[in-house]
Structure 1
Amino acid sequence: MDDDSHALLSRESLIYTITVPLATSIILANLVIILGISCNRQLHNTPNYFFLSLLVADTCTGVALPFIPLMALNRELSFSSCLLVHVLPNFLFLAFLSNLVMVHYERYICIVDPLRYNNLWMHRNFPLALLIVWSPPLLYASLPAFGWNNWTGHDWNSCCKSIPKLPPLSNCSTNGTTCCSYRRVFPNDFIYLEVYGLVLPAILVIAGMTGRVLCITRGQMKDICRLHRAIERGSQASEQEHRLNLRYTRCVVAVSLTFLACWVPYLIYMHVCIAFLVSDTKWSFTTHIILSCTGIGSMSVVPLVLGLANKQYTEPAYKLLQKLRDRWRRTQELEEAAL
């Protein structure tokens, strides 16, 4: 085996080594929360249906996660197969982001305008809301299939051989027949529009709504403290006020750490990719694998943080684990008694 083949196998092995455990964890965690919502009839309402749609999108993103780093490799595929392996993961990612914005918006309205919350159009026409959430990502991701691509660009037929910074997979021969590359499917304008016209604004909207909710919570907490002081007729902060301030501080710290851990890695990955796309320079394939897996994977954890923090969602799984543990203990006790 020559050095090139060994390096290629090492890159493929690195992709699956990082993505498969991460994707498996994301899928299993989502299934646990989905099971919790499905088994509890009290959770069968519109807000949890939106969250359920987000979990389904997140599960699909976990399924597509191992294929995302492979998009940086050149492969020998037909036009339709090449579109499928690029368009489908992109659609699942955009659908996940769209569902995440909808969930944050629904909870934002619940806090900002609770009196009108139950009369929102999302509650009156839930199927339309789901259509709005899933259809635009599908339409935009499918644009390369309707002609917005570089499939007929110059020198594309020999890209498996002529572009060293995008190494081919093991099934990509050097006969120059049909080469599949993300550069053939996604033009630069398409990538810029998606990043700076869809993805980045969505992240900023989520951050803005979260910050607004924290400001409203802070104002309400101050009102509670002033009311408590008026009732107690004291000028000093009571123990209850200290507990409220401590709870709010913990909430701010948790939100900040979640944003830093889940969104910052993806923002770094996104802008690094754009920088290398603009400069058209060579960069380490190992770095690309680590950044893509860390960025997409950390962003996929956001729904899990929201779901696992709710005991109602995890209660069925907890009860199941408790039953299995009790059964295992009884089995151990019977075996010990038999001895």
Structure 2
Amino acid sequence: MADQVNVSSDPPPNWREAYLINVITLPLSTAIILANLVIILGIACNRQLHNTTNYFFLSLLVADLCTGVALPFVPWMGLSRSLSFTSCLLVHIFPNFLFLAFLFNLVMVHYERYMCIVSPLHYSGMWVHRLFPLALFAVWAPPLLFASLPALGWNNRAASDRHINNTGQECCSYKHVFPNAFIYLEVYGLLVPAILSIAGMTGRVLWITRGQMKDICRLHRSVATRGDQASYQEQQLNLRYSRCVVAVSLTFLACWVPYIIYTHVGVAFLLSEEPQGNSTTHIVLSCTGIGSMTVVPLVLGLANRQYTDPLRKVLHKLRDRWRWRNDSGDIAL
């Protein structure tokens, strides 16, 4: 009887992985969800923001919120579990779809803002404005279709069946769901081109902004009556541009580099053909990689004062009420 009690009280084999995943992902997921809800409510409460540009950004926020909800399930995709093949498909396909939808929405938001800078005269006549439902369809339907390919037959179920015959139990692993060709196509056919396009559009916008800033400085020199005033204005413009470049660079380093590292480490692990790697390393890399990338829309949203005005007003009211209560208490004393 004592032996049976000891056996039944043993923790599950992967309890350390589950504890580590919960410790890392739950606070991060909660912060991502709450921050997205704040920005979504900020856009919804301000009717001046109800336009096509902000609708694209709203779609990105919804995708980011869904990615935050799915974040605790992402690290499990690299670990082996005892699940039926149908359940295994579901727990791998659904997070992958949300992540791809987030990435497609992010590219669309950058593209729409890029065209606003590059071609401002033709901006309102762009196809993404004239065919807004089609643009939304383009950022949600293709990710769903691509992520569903394993469920439509492009999978490694034969390897999963062989594992059942050898061990006598069903095992769920990403190698049983995603063939190597599928992973290579997703990484180098979708993810890498998307990141490069975002980086290219951002660099092009900064270059155009630099040229416009030089034109403004040249105009100030031509009309300024005092050289000191023009020099001060140029210094302010250069300072603002430098801050913008630093902010963009830090955002790229903090948000994209961890994900790039995680992606290439995952591909290297795939090439190694090892049955199970260092689970702790995989958990940390997957959580930091996916989590850091989901911060990009939050940086763009929180930097816009129009999106955060409702929250700022609520905080001001709470502060004023707190001060009023403290003042009333002091007077009563």
Same fold (TM over 0.5): yes
1:295-306 aligned within 5 A? 295-306=289-300
Give 1:37 deviation, angstroms.
0.2
Separation in 1 of the partners of 2:332 and 2:15? 53
1:240 maps to a residue whose letter is Q
Work out the CA distance in 1 between the residues paired with 2:78 and 2:104.
24
Superposition deviation, residue 8 in structure 1: 2.2
Q: Could you say what secondary structure the match of 1:76 adopts? A: coil
In 1, the alpha carbon distance for the partners of 2:232 and 2:246 equals 21
Structure 2 match to 1:209 = 201
Letter paired with 1:223: D
* Counterpart residue identity of residue 278, structure 2: S
1:223 aligned onto 2:215: yes
Matches within 5 A, 1:129-208: 129-153=135-159, 155-157=162-164, 176-208=168-200
| TM-score, normalised via structure 2 length | 0.92
SS state at 2:43 partner: helix
| Matched ranges for 1:31-180 at <5 A | 31-153=37-159, 155-157=162-164, 176-180=168-172
Q: Do the aligned residues in 2 keep the contact of 1:156 with 1:184 (CA within 8 Å)?
A: no
Q: 1:245 aligns with which of 238, 242, 259?
A: 238
Correspondence for 1:264: 257
> 1:41 corresponds to which letter in structure 2?
R
Secondary structure of the structure 2 residue equivalent to 1:283: coil
Opposite residue 219 of structure 1, the aligned amino acid is G
CA distance in 2, matches of 1:217, 1:40: 28
- SS in structure 2 at match of 1:144: coil
Structure-2 separation of matches of 1:7 and 1:331? 54
* Compared CA separation, residues 120 and 6, structure 1 to 2 (3 A): same
Structure 1 distance, partners of 2:330, 2:243, is: 46
Distance 1:188 1:5, change over 3 A: farther
Q: Counterparts of 1:158 and 1:306 in 2: how far apart (Å)?
A: 51
Contact preservation (8 Å) 1:269, 1:291: yes
Deviation at 1:5?
A: 4.3
Q: Distance in 2 between matches of 1:6 and 1:326?
A: 52
Select between 147-156 and 118-127 the one with higher mean Cα deviation.
Answer: 147-156
2: CA distance between counterparts of 1:328 and 1:7? 50
Letter in 2 for 1:155: R
Residue by residue over 1:306-333, the C-alpha shift from the partner in whole angstroms, topping out at 9 and shown as x without a partner, is 0000000001011112222333344445
Deviation at 1:66, TM superposition (A): 0.2
Show the counterpart of 2:14: 8
Q: What residue is the counterpart of 2:3 in the other structure?
A: none
The corresponding residue for 1:26 is 32
- Measured in 2, the distance between the counterparts of 1:209 and 1:289 equals 31
Farther-moved stretch of structure 1 (323-332 vs 17-26): 323-332
1:321 to 315, 319, 323: 315
User: Is the CA contact 1:158–1:179 (under 8 Å) kept in the aligned structure 2?
Assistant: no
Q: Secondary structure at the match of 1:10?
A: helix
Farther off after superposition, 122-131 or 109-118: 122-131
Partner Cα separation in structure 2 for residue 27 and residue 177 of structure 1: 37
In structure 2, the residue matched to 1:289 is 283
Contact 2:79–2:279, Cα closer than 8 Å, also in 1? no
Q: Secondary structure at the match of 1:223?
A: helix
Task: Return the offset for 1:6.
Answer: 6.8
Deviations 1:112-162 (CA, angstroms, capped at 9, x unpaired): 000000001111121111001100000000000000000122632168x6x
3-state SS, counterpart of residue 119 of structure 1: coil
Q: How many residues align?
A: 324
Give, in whole Å, the separation in 1 of the partners of 2:152 and 2:196. 30
SS at match of 2:156: coil
Aligned partners of 1:279 and 1:235: how far apart in 2? Answer: 65
Match of 2:268 in 1: 275
**Percent of aligned positions that are identical:** 70
